[in-house]
A = this chain, B = another copy of it.
Amino acid sequence: MIEDKNPQRTPLSELGEFKLIEHLTAQFKINHKSTVLGIGDDAAILNPSKKQIVVTTDLLVEGVHFDLSYVPLKHLGYKAVMVNISDVCAMNANATQITVSIAVSNRFPLEALEELYAGIETAARLYNVDVVGGDTTSSTSGLIISITAVGEVEEDKVVKRSGAKPNDLLVVTGDLGGAYMGLQVLEREKEVFKVNPQNQPDLSMYTYIVERQLKPEARKDIVDLLKELDVKPTSMIDISDGLSSEIIHICKQSNVGVDLYENKIPLDPQVISTCEEFNIDSTTIALNGGEDYELLMTISQEDFPKIKGNPNLTVIGYMTEAERGMHLITRAETKVPIIAKGWKSFNENEKQ
């Protein structure tokens, strides 16, 4: 489907490890005042001055987290950075630096890694993070990307998963389920391609959801918006595994329950129409789909006037005493317990 159109294929062994790292990282610029020293020493040096720092890390493995038959390497590099920045945003912090480690097998030519790093560079530039270190090595099979992100936050601004209180409002950004339905479309086209490699897929009906899957954006803008609105959420988490799973994290870590309203869950029309086409229930997708990288937060009721009517923020429920449990209130007004069916990589793998 999406092929490497670059006819040049330079084997990695031509460069050796040091030269490869040098070559791939030459394009990275240092912008943050807090970056004292970037790539090229035993470690990077950062000076967060008086702020607290947050640190988060994610590992992406070929064949488990991504399928290179339909994920362009540039998008993959971009997404790998977003996944980490999203975690930093979920702490109400600003991402400032990342380290990027990759392991690749020799089947990847230099030009493929250049594509991957171009995506990383674009993400770092657009989200204003400095790439300050990393490691590049070979693997016996496939591509592995490990990114660690560092962010800064003033001590009184940091938001954990554990601060939600009964009666707080449950608020989500953007809309849900798009990334998962985008994946379904791409998987279907892959099967078509296997049968008929001449077939050119027409994805024009699915542009939004395919982009949600291939090129998610971390909600850095929400961290800025919350500051502007003078709202500090009582708890926050990013939606990587699915709404159910993240709600359960907040409830357990805050020791609260929740009533989630099915009819409030924000869905894009393209998600609804694609769910109909695939004959899947859109609420199930929103609850369990994952990879939307939206933010889920709880806010105090007294802050409601500040967020009311804001198109970026949707109230989807409210927190209760822990004893009341975690429930979805369906459109038919029945109460269904919320259970996590999030993406479980070990089970997924077993099925293969």
Contact = CB atoms under 8 A, between A and B. Distances in A.
Contacts of A347: 13, 16
A230 interface: no
A100 to B, nearest CB: 8
A291 interface: no
A54 B144 CA distance: 24
A134 B52 contact: no
A39 to B, nearest CB: 11
A349 interface: yes
A67 to B, nearest CB: 11
A47 interface: yes
Interface string A47-90: 11000111111110111110000000000000000000001101
Interface in A297-349: 340, 344-349
A97 B55 contact: yes
A25 interface: no
Nearest to A56: B43
A255 interface: no
Contacts of A344: 16-17
Contact of A91 (B40, B43, B90): B43
Contacts of A340: 18
Contact of A13 (B18, B148, B346): B346
A101 interface: yes
A56 B40 contact: no
A276 interface: no
A36 interface: yes
A24 interface: no
A99 interface: yes
Contact of A346 (B16, B52, B101, B349): B16
A81 to B, nearest CB: 15
A160 interface: yes
Given A42-B237, A90-B42, A144 B52 contact: no
A141 B138 contact: no
A294 interface: no
B45 A54 contact: yes
Given A59-B146, A97-B55, A138 B43 contact: no
Interface stretch (A115-123, A150-158, A177-185, A263-271): A150-158
Contact of A144 (B46, B47, B139): B139
Q: Which of A42, A59, A155, A344 has the most CB of B within 10 A?
A: A42
B43 A54 contact: yes
B57 A135 contact: yes
A346 B136 CA distance: 10
Interface of A: 11-13, 15-18, 20, 36-37, 40-48, 52-59, 61-65, 87-88, 90-91, 93, 97, 99, 101-103, 105-106, 132-135, 137-142, 144, 146, 148-151, 153, 155, 158, 160-162, 236-238, 253, 340, 344-350
| The 4 A-B residue pairs with the shortest CB-CB distance in the complex, in nearest-first order | A43-B56, A146-B146, A42-B90, A43-B54
21 contacts: A12-B346, A13-B349, A40-B253, A42-B56, A42-B88, A42-B91, A42-B237, A43-B88, A55-B132, A55-B133, A55-B148, A55-B150, A59-B144, A59-B146, A63-B139, A64-B140, A101-B146, A103-B144, A137-B345, A138-B346, A138-B349
